[in-house]
Chains A and B, each alone.
Chain A
Amino acid sequence: MHIRLAMIVGVMFLKIELKINGKFRTAEVSASERLIDVLRQKFGLVSVKEGCGAGECGACTVIMDGEAVCSCVVPAFQADGHDILTVEGLEENGELDVIQQSFIDCDAVQCGFCTPGMIMSAKALLMKNPCPSREEIRTALAGNICRCTGYVQIIDAVETTAARIGVCRR
């Protein structure tokens, strides 16, 4: 039987092991903690924003095992054994990821609060489908809300990323 449990003053904590931005990490989490709480509070990954806290706005989107998820509705204990990617894990050797650069070049950032979530949703799409149509981009971003109403530039930025990756021939 494989159960890892620890009791601390009346509340049960579970020790989780997960990979965050390529590095193995461990954390002790309580029953009501969410993945967003672990990422922000335990590991300081503040690109992960809390908007609605109910899985509706997408500001907290991270990539879990290659799939975009709202980290505000993932129980932290269910992240055990999984691979998490946040915006902090995109930059390599001091260079922005092509998707980050495209968001800048296409003026797809206004207040910036929705941007990390938008980028992670778009990144998850491009990892699976490097040459998406505008309609496919819209569907992939339907769960990310931008209150500055910058959707056209955001979709442009994702298209530009796809073009820059170079798989796409239009």
Chain B
Amino acid sequence: MTGLFAPRSIEELLSLLAGSGEHEKHFIAGGTDWLIKNRGNISEDAVLFDLSKIPELRGIENRGSYLRLGSMETMTSIHTDPEIRLHAAALCDAASSMGSVQIRNRATVGGNLANASPAADTPGALAALNASAVIFSPSGTKELSIEEVLGTCPNKNTLSDSDIIMEFRIPVRKSHVSAFKKIGSRSEVSIARINLAVSAKYEDGAFCDAMVFVGTLGTAAKRSPEAENALLMPISLRKEGFKKALCEFAGRMIPSRSTLPYKQSAIQALAEDVLEMLEARGRSLEKSGEKSHG
């Protein structure tokens, strides 16, 4: 018998979870992926939990050392938020380029990670920003990296079926810049063929502490240490080094896939664009004297 619950608090969700035993569980966030995947084939003994009425899963706030981002925040609420724009520009880029206005008004950041599509946009941005996901379950809460939630299997996260993504914690880091860009089949409302998210510390034109994640190469966020190292190169060699490193990285991740030549060409163009965005953001950060993550 399909069960459908709309808890009004985490506490209420907890008691419902305890009562749902071994039944197959579905947690519904914005519903944009869930409906397409599940409509018409929800198993008879499944129990559905609508997460849209739980206030603890909402909110964006600056807590000093990190931004707290509720998992039920939508792409629209994220890309229009001044704190996200200032301290997590890569996430702002990803949220504003995802889907159409209509989808951005419904799709949530928690749902985007949980759905674990390799072409998802926000997981790579969150990973590059060194964000963690706070996971709630009846046995307690734990903090996982984005890569730990995604694991290695496409379209499947590593969470157990009573785990809920409650919030993300995005470190607020001084002098850091970040950027995200994707290439799809058209300029808007497009699913990424490949995407790239980078954050780094910027000082006098040089980068350090870089984190580089590429999406669509198996999972939504694959870290590229070679591209991170390339960003440390002298400025005159940096652009070509970064492009070459990402090209080699794609070859290493999907060596036998037919789309590899396309992705290697596309990622070099993305690398140039993202590098330009990072440099421009770094310059404006220095100009404004505002030494916080932009």
Residue tally, chain A, CB below 8 Å to B: 42
Which interface class (under 10, 10 to 19, 20 to 34, 35 or more) fits B? 35 or more
Name the interface residues of B80-129: CB closer than 8 Å to any CB of A: 99-103, 105-106
A127 to B28, CA, bound (A): 29
Given the known A-B contacts A12-B3, A75-B50, A77-B4, are A143 and B103 also in contact in the complex, defined by CB atoms under 8 Å?
A: yes
For residue A56, CB closer than 8 A to chain B, the reply is: yes
For residue A111, CB closer than 8 A to chain B, the reply is: no
For residue B218, CB closer than 8 A to chain A, the reply is: no
Given the known A-B contacts A74-B31, A78-B31, are A68 and B102 also in contact in the complex, defined by CB atoms under 8 Å?
A: yes
B101→A68 contact, CB < 8 A: yes
For residue A7, CB closer than 8 A to chain B, the reply is: yes
B42→A75 contact, CB < 8 A: no
For residue A101, CB closer than 8 A to chain B, the reply is: no
As a 0/1 sequence over residues 80 to 95 of chain A, the CB contacts with chain B under 8 angstroms (1 = contact) are: 1100000000000000
- B7-15, B139-147, B277-285: which one contacts chain A? B7-15
A75→B102 contact, CB < 8 A: no
Which residues of A are found within 8 Å of B15, using beta-carbon distances? 1
- B33-41, B221-229, B240-248, B262-270: which one contacts chain A? B33-41
For residue B204, CB closer than 8 A to chain A, the reply is: no
A1 to B12, CA, bound (A): 7
Which residues of B are found within 8 Å of A133, using beta-carbon distances? none
Name the interface residues of A120-170: CB closer than 8 Å to any CB of B: 121, 124-125, 139-140, 142-144
- Would you give the shortest CB distance from A72 to chain B, in whole angstroms? 8
Given the known A-B contacts A2-B8, A32-B40, are A12 and B2 also in contact in the complex, defined by CB atoms under 8 Å?
A: yes
For residue B6, CB closer than 8 A to chain A, the reply is: yes
Among candidates A31, A73, A80, A139, residue contacting B103 with C-beta atoms closer than 8 Å: A73
Name the interface residues of A40-61: CB closer than 8 Å to any CB of B: 53-56, 58, 61
Which residues of B are found within 8 Å of A22, using beta-carbon distances? none
Which chain B residue lies CB-closest to A82? B52
- Would you give the shortest CB distance from B239 to chain A, in whole angstroms? 29
Which residues of A are found within 8 Å of B76, using beta-carbon distances? 67
* Chain B positions near chain A (C-beta within 8 angstroms): 1-8, 12, 15-16, 28, 31-32, 34-36, 38-40, 42, 44, 48, 50, 52-53, 76, 99-103, 105-106, 188-189
Cβ contacts A to B, 6 pairs, < 8 Å: A2-B8, A3-B7, A10-B2, A31-B48, A58-B100, A72-B35
**Can you add 16 more A-B contacts, CB < 8 Å, to A68-B105, A121-B102?**
A2-B8, A3-B5, A3-B7, A3-B12, A7-B1, A11-B2, A12-B1, A12-B2, A55-B36, A74-B106, A75-B50, A77-B50, A78-B28, A124-B101, A142-B188, A143-B99
